Each structure stands twice: as structure tokens, then as C-alpha cells.
């Protein structure tokens, strides 16, 4: 079986991603983009509670601590939730560094080592290339620290979208909740009307 990482990446010619002039400075802790996001939201008790910091260049670093609520096999993280953690970290890289809203079109994950409950996964995500609205981004997750063994690799295609994407497709009652309490959404993450 061919491993994901043996296939060319990005899969087509791209331009080098350019960090937006207003992207958060390296070392800045990035707030959750939405309080009810399963990946980073503070209002989801059993969510992943990813924490993300901007790095130099076109990179970010996230941490995710696996809890008993995230099990697949006894004492081990569920692979789907690990994929979710990477979706979140990759999306945070795209949105915060390019400052444009984008959604995941394709996400590939490679599970290299089991991730036990109680482990903190350190996820380094970096933008790899841009082709029109398409943004190619990849990440590695290490066990226990930035020098730990790689447990998961992921790469994804994000497609930049307009604000209308969320307004047209989002459930009206959730959009109304944001209108009533704008603090649920971090509007500074991206330029909503570039
Ligand atoms: C008031 C609200 C404000 C909100 C503000 C938010 C701020 C956010 C801040 C911070 C976020 C950080 C964290 C987020 C983390 C979580 C991210 C997620 O989980 S996102 C949910 C899951 N993903 C979806 O639900 C997408 C569903 N899919 C779609 O909506 C469409 O398919 C979409 C937008 C991806 C593309 O549709 P088209 O009609 O716009 O464009 P077309 O022409 O189809 O595709 C564009 C290009 O991409 C290629 N493409 C699309 N899908 C592809 C695929 N699967 N594989 C390969 N290429 C693909 C196409 O071939 C095309 O390429 P060519 O330009 O022609 O070269």
C-alpha cells in the first residue's frame, strides 16, 4: 500500500503561501474561532479544546490533550477524533495566516503510532502551497512534546470561501445565536469582507 506521504505534495503546481501582513505575530496564542466549535470551542465540555499559537513564517503549533471522552479502543484516542484535531489545526493555520475563511475539501491522515489517553499531542501545521482558492497544508503530531515521536501525519486541501458560504449553509438558529451574542465568534481571525 502506498503511504500518503509518498505521493507528491502539493499534488499540482502551486505558489508559495504568503503570510498576511496582519497575521498574528509569532508567539501569539490564538483564541477559539467559535465557542461551539468541537475542535477549539470552550463551550463544548467533551470537545478537543485545541490550543494554538502562531509561529514564524506560515506555520502554527497546536496542542491537544486526549481525555477519556476521546477513546476508540480502551485507553487509546479514536482515530476520527485525531483527524478532527488535525482538521482544526490545519484550518487554524489557513484562516489565521492567510486571514481568509476557508473550509476543508479533503483531509488525509496517517496514523503512525497509537495515542494513549492522557497524552498531549503537539501538532505543527504549515502552509505548503496556494493555487487560486485552493490552499494545501500539512501537519505532524508528536507525542508528549515537540521532540516526541511522530504519531499522526495529516495533509489537506482547504478551499477559500466567502462569508456567504456560512450564512447560506449554516443552521438559522445558530446564526441567530451569534447575532444575539457576537462574542461566540472571534471575528478578528479572518477578514470576513476582504
Ligand atoms: C457568520 C459565520 C462566520 C464564520 C467565520 C469562520 C472563520 C473561521 C476561522 C477559523 C477556522 C479555523 C478552523 C476550522 C477547522 C474546521 C474546518 C472544517 O471542518 S470545514 C467543514 C468541512 N468542510 C465542508 O463542509 C466543505 C464542504 N464542501 C464545500 O462546501 C464545497 O465543496 C467547497 C467550498 C469545498 C468547494 O465548492 P465550490 O463550489 O466553492 O468550488 P469548486 O469549484 O467545487 O472547488 C474549488 C476548487 O477546489 C477543487 N476541489 C474541491 N473539492 C476538492 C476535493 N475534494 N479534492 C480535490 N480538489 C477539490 C475543485 O476542483 C476546484 O479546483 P479548480 O479551481 O477548478 O482548479
Which domains are seen in the chain, by residue range? 25-182 (3.10.129.10)
For residue 5, what pLDDT band results from cuts at 50, 70 and 90? low
ipTM reported for the complex, 2 dp: 0.96
The 3-state DSSP class for residue 122 equals: strand
What's the rounded Cα separation, in Å, for the pair 27 and 136? 23
Report yes or no: 6 and 155 within 8 Å, Cβ to Cβ.
Answer: no
Is the shortest distance between the CB of 187 and ligand 1 below 6 Å? no
State the DSSP code for 72.
S
Q: List CB contacts of 38: < 8 A, sequence separation 6 or more.
A: 44, 47, 48, 84
Q: Model confidence over 100-123: pLDDT tens digits?
A: 999 999 999 999 999 999 999 999
For residue 45, what pLDDT band results from cuts at 50, 70 and 90? very high
What's the rounded Cα separation, in Å, for the pair 166 and 175? 9
What's the rounded Cα separation, in Å, for the pair 45 and 122? 21
Is the shortest distance between the CB of 89 and ligand 1 below 6 Å? no
Mutate to test the pocket of ligand 1, among 159, 164, 174 (most ligand atoms within 8 A of CB): 159
Q: Model confidence over 130-158: pLDDT tens digits?
A: 999 999 999 999 999 999 999 999 999 99
Q: How far is the centre of ligand 1, averaged over its atoms, from the C-alpha of 111 (Å)?
A: 24
What's the rounded Cα separation, in Å, for the pair 138 and 91? 10
Amino acid at each position: 500500500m502506498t503511504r500518503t506521504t509518498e505521493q507528491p505534495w502539493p499534488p499540482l503546481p502551486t505558489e508559495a503561501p504568503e503570510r498576511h501582513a496582519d497575521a498574528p505575530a509569532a508567539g501569539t496564542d490564538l483564541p477559539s474561532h467559535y465557542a461551539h466549535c468541537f475542535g477549539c470551542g470552550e463551550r463544548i465540555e467533551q470537545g478537543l479544546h485545541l490550543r494554538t499559537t502562531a509561529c514564524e513564517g506560515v506555520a502554527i503549533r497546536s496542542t491537544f490533550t486526549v481525555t477519556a471522552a476521546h477513546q476508540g479502543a480502551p485507553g487509546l484516542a479514536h482515530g476520527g477524533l485525531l483527524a478532527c484535531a488535525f482538521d482544526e489545526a490545519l484550518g487554524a493555520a489557513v484562516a489565521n495566516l492567510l486571514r481568509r475563511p476557508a473550509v476543508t475539501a479533503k483531509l488525509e491522515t496517517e496514523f503512525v503510532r497509537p495515542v494513549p489517553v492522557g497524552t498531549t499531542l503537539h501538532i505543527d501545521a504549515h502552509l505548503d502551497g496556494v493555487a487560486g482558492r485552493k490552499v494545501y497544508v500539512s501537519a505532524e503530531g508528536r507525542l508528549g512534546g515537540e521532540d516526541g515521536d511522530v504519531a499522526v501525519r495529516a495533509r489537506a486541501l482547504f478551499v477559500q470561501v466567502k462569508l456567504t458560504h456560512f450564512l447560506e449553509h449554516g443552521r438559522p438558529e445558530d446564526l441567530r445565536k451569534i447575532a444575539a451574542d457576537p462574542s461566540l465568534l472571534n471575528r478578528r481571525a479572518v477578514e470576513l469582507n476582504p
